[in-house]
Chains A and B, each alone.
Chain A
Amino acid sequence: AQTVTQSQPEMSVQEAETVTLSCTYDTSENNYYLFWYKQPPSRQMILVIRQEAYKQQNATENRFSVNFQKAAKSFSLKISDSQLGDTAMYFCAFMTTGNQFYFGTGTSLTVIP
């Protein structure tokens, strides 16, 4: 069975500080894709960052970067220089070669001014 676990239901961070959201997953496949999505109060799901499992280099996208540890099946998201607009639910997800997506239960992040 494919599962995604986000063990931090809620987190907070001071504006301009750095925060790391954790995600672990379980799959028997070797090739897959990993994602972080953001869901602000507007409810719209927005792609934050993507990582291909066959790439060892960690993906970065401006203030967002990941720490991908394939052997440990870990995929954490680091947000640097946190901004008020980063307040949202964050979902970790992965897609298997069977074209199915699996999402975690989310981490609610609050950026404190």
Chain B
Amino acid sequence: NAGVTQTPKFQVLKTGQSMTLQCAQDMNHEYMSWYRQDPGMGLRLIHYSVGAGITDQGEVPNGYNVSRSTTEDFPLRLLSAAPSQTSVYFCASGTGPSYEQYFGPGTRLTVT
């Protein structure tokens, strides 16, 4: 099993550009989530999904979109990148009842 995979590992964007961060898991987990990690802030939940076709907002959803068409994939879309979105992004998956999170390796995104 590859676990949770994320692509790309690094990305630099210009302000206003859009892009999609990819996340996939091969553990048949129903729960998938996206976090951002900023210095001194810990991890903050952006969006999450409890199954294909179901998504919901977390703590910091503004500027991000998600969809969940399959159990395996949970892409995160930045609609119009802003410098405030410079961060490290983690995707995670989990299974019930506690949905303990298994994390991907992260994507370091810089918006200039």
Contact = CB atoms under 8 A, between A and B. Distances in A.
Contact of A35 (B31, B90, B100, B106): B100
B45 A102 contact: yes
Interface residues of B, number: 26
Contact of B33 (A33, A35, A101): A101
Contacts of B100: 33, 35, 47, 50
Contact of B40 (A33, A43, A105): A105
Given A43-B88, A43-B105, A43-B106, A100 B45 contact: yes
A99 B31 contact: yes
B44 interface: yes
Given A101-B33, A103-B43, A105-B42, A45 B90 contact: yes
A45 B88 contact: no
Given A45-B90, A101-B33, A33 B98 contact: yes
A85 B44 CA distance: 26
A106 B42 contact: yes
Contacts of B103: 44-46
A41 B83 CA distance: 25
A52 interface: yes
21 contacts: A4-B42, A43-B106, A44-B105, A45-B43, A45-B90, A47-B101, A47-B102, A50-B98, A50-B100, A93-B101, A99-B48, A99-B50, A99-B56, A100-B45, A100-B48, A100-B58, A100-B59, A101-B33, A101-B45, A101-B99, A101-B101
